Amino acid sequence: MKNIQYILLDLDGTLTDPMIGITRSVQHALAFFGIKVHNLEELCPFIGPPLIDSFKEFYHFTDEQAQIALEKYREYFATKGIFENNEYEGIKDFLQSQVDQGRILMLATSKPEPFAKRILDHFKLTHYFTFIGGSTLDGSRSTKTDVIKYVLSTNKITDLSRVIMIGDRKHDIEGAKNNGISSVGVLYGYGSRTELEHAGADFIVEDVDGLKSLLL
């Protein structure tokens, strides 16, 4: 992996574990529609993909209902859910090891950019990154494919053989493939080995130490 110069990283399920904050925010949104979910683990599939897509897929919401659900989600997330979150053990050491090797780290998340920046600041992770790329609040840039394209184009990265994307869900892997870059799937997040293999991950690692070993 000596040729890798740029590392794009997902946020949720890759750098931090947002399970409580995201699922409680979804729970809050669903309650507005009279849908009661008591077991937060049932809402874990919402972690990773664009939220509007998930509301439509899992609860068969119309476009209009999904947009309202997103607004209700953000009501809770912006003030409480954003910090109901934990940094994965060893992630700072991994990021520092990559910076020490002279690599350039960039965030590529489906989470709205303002929220992503607040989370990185909260966990004191911001200084590891030269660029923070996320979705837009108005939905004009929402898919992981679009976010990765935005990160690459904004930073004028043209030698795609020197770029790798790291994430825990199929959307990370598919987004990387759609942009012509390699990908690593991590199993400590919210995607299974089957999901990552089916999406076409170039590499799959079990834990943060596995990431560090892979990228030596």
Residue numbers annotated as active site: 10
For the chain, counts of helices (H) and of strands (E): 9, 8
In this structure, the chain runs to a length of: 216
Place of tokens 């509301």: 55
- φ/ψ of 190, rounded to 5, equals -120, 10
Q: Which residues contact 137 (CB under 8 A, 6 or more apart)?
A: 112, 114
**Residue 160 to residue 100: CA distance in whole angstroms:** 22
Say if residues 116 and 132 touch (Cβ distance below 8 Å). Answer: yes
